[in-house]
Amino acid sequence: MITLKEALSKTPQEISEIRDQIMATAKANDLNAYIGFETADDGIPILMKDNIQVKDWSVTSGSKILQGYIAPYNATVVEKMQEKGFVPFGRANMDEFAMGSTTESSYYGITKNPHDTSRVPGGSSGGSAAAVAAGLAIAALGSDTGGSVRQPAAYCGVVGFKPTYGRVSRYGLAAYASSLDQIGTITQTVEDAAILYDAIKGHDPKDSTSAEFEIEDIANNLDIDRTLTIAVIDNYISEADDDIQKAYAFAVEKLKEAGHTIIHKEMTNTKYDIATYYIVATAEAATNLARFDGIRYGRQAENVKNLQELYFKSRSEGFGEEVKRRILLGNFVLSSGYYDAYYLKAQKVRHLIQDEFNVIFDEADMILSPVAPSVAPKIGTSSDPLEMYKSDMYTIAINLAGLPALSLPIMKNDDGMPIGLQLIGKAFNDKVVFDAAASLERAVKYKSN
Ligand code: GLN
């Protein structure tokens, strides 16, 4: 598939032919990366995760409860993209309401990993990553609340970028956990990620958490030869599988050869990441998902006797198991008597996690970290929720701290499965993340086939 950069130099006629080709191949393909094939006006097609609203298109967030729901307006990212000649195209499969790490919880079926169809593509933006990796999309948008752009990108051997919190408007993104959610990009190259990020970033008065100051465009100003200080968190690495550690050691060598300075650090609060994230995320999710009552959005239960039963049946029938688990957990940690013990405490620990990153960033420009402790697991092997939550150990702290991070493919293991690593930057230093990532991408020479 041509890159986004290459697409920019094609004529409208060539682009429309490429779009028709993508549509035909995607329809014939059985990865189940797409759950809809909507297409818009002329322009370079960008695949949309199915939780980003495109006016007059169906949008389901991978849930039965939103079956039949039609978006009444465009997400801000869609409006911004269109100004740059990029148009929304197709709807990518995802874990229901972006809750999951495997794209197995979608009401619309499991998505498969194109490198090995017995494995998951990661999640929750698994459809976006699988499609870009399989040549079924030029580039895609996803959302990252705790790793959902970076982890599927790593599992599928493509580039996933999660911007600093506040850099990309969340207006029109179905809310999972509002203080963590951020729309991100899934692309074939680091440069493509910069091109797409440049198109969607920027202040939006419709999102009260949107940062008000603008930043320079990145794609045209990439500084691939600058040298940086990159921190390695030693106690992080030992918890990953051997092949991840091997890729990590390889990347560190390549960064040194490219002239970067590597420093070694420890982070002691990482043991609290998972507990903190799953308290904050489920509390916010329980609140956000309260609006799905069978009246205002999507699917409504039939044959009900009264209002109480309408709510009860619509929600019981409409939400899947994982979403229900999180609503229960979220309401539990917010309930009186437990609020202080869980939710308030988690908010305090969140600050400690942020502070610890700041201490590292006093000395380093960037942190290099695994994205996941293993390569993509087999389909059907992530049924224990706690085990699945644990596999988010490397990605969720970045959302708790609101930092920018980019995951890029480094090498493949002996089974041919891609391994990605992430570069994590200071808040609002997204540009530096791209500079370092472009340098690492050049140094490792990853080949997708
Ligand atoms: N796997 C994490 C979760 O289930 C992250 C998901 C996401 O980033 N949307 O919450």
Q: What's the per-residue H, E or C state across 307-357?
A: HHHHHHHHHHHHCCHHHHHHHHHHHHHHCCCCHHHHHHHHHHHHHHHHHHH
**Nearest alpha carbon to residue 31 among 144, 108, 124:** 108
Rounded average pLDDT over 24-51: 95
**pLDDT of amino acid 308:** 94
Using an 8 Å Cβ cutoff, are 192 and 216 in contact? no
The hierarchical CATH code for the domain 4-225+374-444 is 3.90.1300.10
Using an 8 Å Cβ cutoff, are 180 and 284 in contact? yes
**Nearest alpha carbon to residue 122 among 88, 92, 87, 166:** 92
Rounded average pLDDT over 87-101: 98
**pLDDT of amino acid 299:** 87
CA-144 nearest atom, ligand 1: 8
Phi-psi region of 282 (alpha: psi -120 to 50; beta: other; left: phi over 0): alpha
The most distant pair of C-alpha atoms in the chain lies apart, rounded to whole Å, by 71
Q: Does the Cβ of 176 fall within 6 Å of ligand 1? A: yes
Cα of 388 from ligand 1 centre, angstroms: 10
CA torsion through residues 390, 292, 90, 379, sign: positive
- Model confidence at 449, pLDDT cuts 50, 70, 90, reads low
- Model confidence at 216, pLDDT cuts 50, 70, 90, reads confident
Q: What is the pLDDT of residues 358-385, one digit of tens each?
A: 999 999 999 999 999 999 999 999 989 9
Q: What distance lies between CA 37 and its chain's CA centroid?
A: 21
- d(CA 413, CA 410) in angstroms, rounded, equals 10
- Of 6-20, 98-112, 289-303, 315-329, the one with minimum mean pLDDT is 289-303
Cα of 151 from ligand 1 centre, angstroms: 9
**Nearest alpha carbon to residue 31 among 93, 106, 95:** 93
**Nearest alpha carbon to residue 49 among 128, 114, 103, 133:** 128
**pLDDT of amino acid 369:** 97
Q: What is the pLDDT of residues 199-208, one digit of tens each?
A: 999 999 999 9
Q: What is the pLDDT of residues 380-428, one digit of tens each?
A: 999 899 999 999 999 999 999 999 999 999 999 999 999 999 999 999 9
Residue 66 above 80 pLDDT?
yes
Residue 41 above 80 pLDDT?
no
Cα of 243 from ligand 1 centre, angstroms: 24
Q: ω into residue 314 within 30 of 0, thus cis?
A: no
Cα of 94 from ligand 1 centre, angstroms: 11
CA-278 nearest atom, ligand 1: 10
3-state SS assignment for residue 231: strand
Q: What is the pLDDT of residues 165-186, one digit of tens each?
A: 999 999 999 999 999 999 999 9
**pLDDT of amino acid 42:** 87
Using CA positions, which residue lies closest to atom 5 of ligand 1?
A: 146
Q: Secondary structure of the chain: what % helix, strand, coil (to 5)?
A: 40, 15, 40
Using an 8 Å Cβ cutoff, are 75 and 173 in contact? yes
Cα of 431 from ligand 1 centre, angstroms: 25
**pLDDT of amino acid 269:** 82
The best mutation among 124, 173, 321, 396 to test binding of ligand 1, ranked by most ligand atoms within 8 Å of the C-beta, falls on 124
CA-180 nearest atom, ligand 1: 8
**pLDDT of amino acid 305:** 96
Q: What are the strands of the beta sheet with 229-233, ordered from one edge? A: 34-39, 86-92, 44-49, 140-143, 183-187, 159-162, 405-412, 418-425, 366-370, 229-233, 261-265
- Output 447 or 308, whichever has higher pLDDT: 308
**pLDDT of amino acid 213:** 83
Residue 5 above 90 pLDDT?
yes
- Model confidence at 276, pLDDT cuts 50, 70, 90, reads very high
**pLDDT of amino acid 260:** 98
Q: CATH 3.90.1300.10 region(s) of the chain?
A: 4-225+374-444
**pLDDT of amino acid 102:** 97
Q: Does the Cβ of 142 fall within 6 Å of ligand 1? A: no
**pLDDT of amino acid 144:** 98
Q: At what angle do helices 430-444 and 190-200 cross, to 10 degrees?
A: 160
Q: Does the Cβ of 181 fall within 6 Å of ligand 1? A: no
3-state SS assignment for residue 361: helix
The best mutation among 61, 96, 392, 399 to test binding of ligand 1, ranked by most ligand atoms within 8 Å of the C-beta, falls on 392
- d(CA 25, CA 92) in angstroms, rounded, equals 15
Q: Identify the helix (H) or strand (E) that includes residue 79.
A: helix 76-83
Catalytic residues: 49, 124, 148
CA-149 nearest atom, ligand 1: 8
**pLDDT of amino acid 296:** 87
Could you write out the DSSP letters of every residue in 364-399? -SEEEEESSSSSPPBTT----HHHHHHTTTTTHHHH
Average pLDDT, the chain: 96
Residue 104 above 70 pLDDT?
yes
Residue 298 above 90 pLDDT?
no
